Structure 1
Amino acid sequence: MSIAQHIINERFYGAKSHTIDDVDIVASQPCGDNTLAIVRINSTLYQLLVDADGKDVLPTHVAEVAASLGTWRPSAGAPENFPTGPFRQLGAEQSNSSFITENNDVIVKYFRKLEAGLNPDVELLSKISECPNIAPVLGYSETTIGNRPYTLVMAQKFIPGDNAWAYALSTTGSSFAWDAELIGQATRNVHTALAEAFPTAVVPASTIAQGLSTRLESLISQAPELERYRQAALSFYGSLEGDTHIQRIHGDLHLGQLLKTPDRYILIDFEGEPARPLDDRRLPDSPLRDLAGIVRSIDYAAHFDGEHTSWANEATALFLAGYGSIDDQDILNAYILDKALYEVAYEINNRPDWVKIPLEAVERLLG
């Protein structure tokens, strides 16, 4: 089979520009007419179900894969066994593969790119199951490779809802402010639950500034066009004063990570920024990073098609009002700047037609 030939066409494979030098099957077992495998491609592990040609076919055989190559660990009070199918795939293939049971009560997520350690999606949600703004974890599958645990699959209660990004774009001619306030309340509830379930700390603003400055250098290396903002951004970060508290957070929060239900918003996908190593994503960070993610996402929704600019400022204000008190507005603005700079680098390299949106935000923030 030629896994290398087919993997480059998969949405979950994020190294398409790199030459594949090595493919090593770390673990495998027959699964019907196919092979369930954990495969090391160059230095990264992936979970695949491959046919005789080496093409991934997991989406059409998920009922056969079940808990994959790992040990199923049900949550307290949840059914002991892995959810039974049949399943239907949730939307298009993304960085992971998600499926819903036939009676719409459980969603199963197969992690495709594997990293050592308990996946934050499982780790965080398992500890805040009583929070009304998350989908509780029903169980997960875990295996050991090289004496380290790897999360393969998780199951959650399925909560039907509309994607908040799509909903925001559907509000042409009307305000998104009421929904933005609900999103603020939901984000506060989740942050409060995480602060109660995991350790918190207080760090000087200079620590935050150093992290943002380091990231700026990385972004400039990816997009040299950002060089003209270096000094102003470093000056902005260097002016931060005081202390701020850190805790476990969502880590990659934007409107696409929220579901709108009839009475509240649900936060989903607690894995953090996929480009960051898992060990980094599990570190405490400022809740203001999550707020900055939503502020920037509202700005994108308001400006990306030019039909929603009228509610951008109102929605941002109501989102922050719904969240409640904020440690430090200057630190929040620094995180917003960091996010906008990241977006500029991303859009230059992926969607240059969109780069105007974050560029305008950068220039507003830097005056």
Structure 2
Amino acid sequence: MLSMKKPAMLSLYAALTITFIRELKEYSIFSLCKWWIVSLTNSLLSNGLNGKKRRPFNWPRIFSFMDDLISFIETINKEKWKSEEVSLETGKLLYKNTPGFIEYIPHHSDSALIMAISVGIHGNETAPIEIVWDIIQKIKSQRILPKIRILFIFGHPQAMLAGKRFLGFNLNRLFSGNHKNFKEYLESERAQEIEEGLTRFFSEANESSSRWHLDLHTAIRGSHHQRFAVRPYYGRDLDVDQTELQICAAMGVEAILKTISPATTFAGFSATHLKAKSFTVELGSVAPFGKNDLSCFAMAKNTIIHILKTGLIHELPQETKPLVYDVKKELINDHDDYEFYIADDYLNFTPLTQGQAIEKNKEGILEAKKNQSIVFPNPHVPQGQRTGLLVQPQGHIPDC
């Protein structure tokens, strides 16, 4: 029987409620309600049983999880980062020399697959960071026993801690050597560091290895396709193949954008320079740490875990195949009088009206053709940067 008296119960309720209100700004209502219920239950069980000594109740996992994650991010710099090796029963976990790079190497593997997963290239896109951090903890506790070499990359720690997309310059526009043109920004050094670290990782693989790179993001704008992926240019025009469709479908991706020219994105770098099958994957909406509904990201997380455990892609669950869109044009702010005519509340993939004005570039007014739409519209970029992608579903012939 529980023996807590009424005053003690009231004190407990009051303490929990005060903490709930104090933390309300930092965590989601769902997480805090869960914390309140778990904390109350734990406290009643630990403090209220006859003959049991009172002791502090256990805080739920979500708080220690977030605290540990933030503490880890704070170490991702040259002053605090320490390379180390953690020996596990089935392999070893390496904190590499490059800050924010964590690699798992199995003792034995029959898989030809080698994979890199990057998160936090934009610091305010937190859900993929939380997902990958949880996977790493499960590897450390040996609840996940990967059968492949896997590299986890935490991209922009300063922006993560600041809760911003970037601090000086968009990190995801500085790859493939473009960082050399913007050395005045701190992101330039980080882009070079990431390029060199990923190059070393793939260079250690066998020539016959199947190289994959998934750069996980969340979108800053609403979309008719909640989850979509951008497949970079591979140096020549290649169709999206079956394994690419399969891995995207398993992650819940509804649309794939097939690009037609090299890009300075991270996925573009790994595809063009390192011959990896790469995707920039948009998994949902931007939210601060602790406020993500991670159930919305379960398909992506489960897909990654399945690949780690099996070393296989072709055995992924069969899901509805994504639609494939061709990128018809990369829209660029290309001159002083550039104008962008897409509304601020436009949703990605909203069909444009035939003849609708899209932008005024240095060649004149660009008008939409039938079945075309825009992805990543953003007119608030410096000259020379991308303001959006003009896309069209495959199989549609535009009316001139």
TMscore range, shorter length: 0.3 to 0.5
Q: TM-score, normalised by structure 2?
A: 0.30
Q: TM-score, normalised by structure 1?
A: 0.32
* Structure showing greater Rg: 2
Hey, which of these two has a bigger chunk of helix by percent? 1
